[in-house]
Amino acid sequence: MIINHPLLGPRDMAEFVYKGDVCLIDRPDGMQEGIEAFHDYLHLRDNPAGEHRELWYHEQGDRSWLVVTRNTLTHEITDVALARDVARERGRTR
């Protein structure tokens, strides 16, 4: 697979490390949420067959975190964004 990095252009997936579902950005607030919320955040996944938004880390490159939108049935990548921008859109400060 080739990941089209927003800053660096097309890069081989071997340069990246895979983290998992993009929902890992939405960490619950430790002062507000209970243990169930943290259990669900840390352990439960939708694991869809089809479009999947997921975190990749460009370890052998510029060390940026990316949100890749990829089809888990065909491996087709339809969108790549910087995780920082996605996190801000979702209300995180950084």
Partner 1 sequence: MHYSAFRIFKEAMTGNRGWKPAWRDPDPKSEYDIIVVGGGGHGLSTAYYLAKEFGQTNVAVLEKGWIGSGNVGRNTTIIRSNYLLEGNQPFYELSMKMWENLEQDLNYNAMVSQRGILNLIHNDPQRDAYARRGNAMRLSGADAELLDREAVRRMCPFLDFENARFPIQGALWQPRAGTVRHDAVAWGYARGADSRGVDIIQNCEVTGFRIENGRCLGVETTRGAIRAKKVAVCVAGSSSRVMAQAGMRLPIESHVLQAFVSEGLKPIIPGVITFGAGHFYVSQSDKGGLVFGGDIDAYNTYAQRGGLPVVEDVCEGGMALMPMIGRARLLRMWGGLIDMSMDGSPFIDRTDIDGLYFNGGWCYGGFKATPASGYCYAHLVATDRPHPTAAAYRLDRFLRGAPIDEKGQGAQPNLH
Which parts of this chain interact with partner 1 (CB under 8 A)? 1, 12-14, 18-21, 35-36, 39-40, 42-49, 52, 54, 70, 72-75
- Who contacts 63 (Cβ-Cβ below 8 Å, separation ≥6)? 57
Q: Among residues 56, 46, 63, 48, which one has the least CA distance to residue 79?
A: 56
- Smaller CB separation from partner 1, 51 or 62: 51
Burial environment of residue 73 by CB neighbours within 10 A (0 to 12, 13 to 18, 19 or more): exposed
- Smaller CB separation from partner 1, 8 or 42: 42
CB 18 to partner 1: min, Å:
4
CB 45 to partner 1: min, Å:
6
Report yes or no: 65 and 49 within 8 Å, Cβ to Cβ. Answer: no
- Smaller CB separation from partner 1, 75 or 94: 75
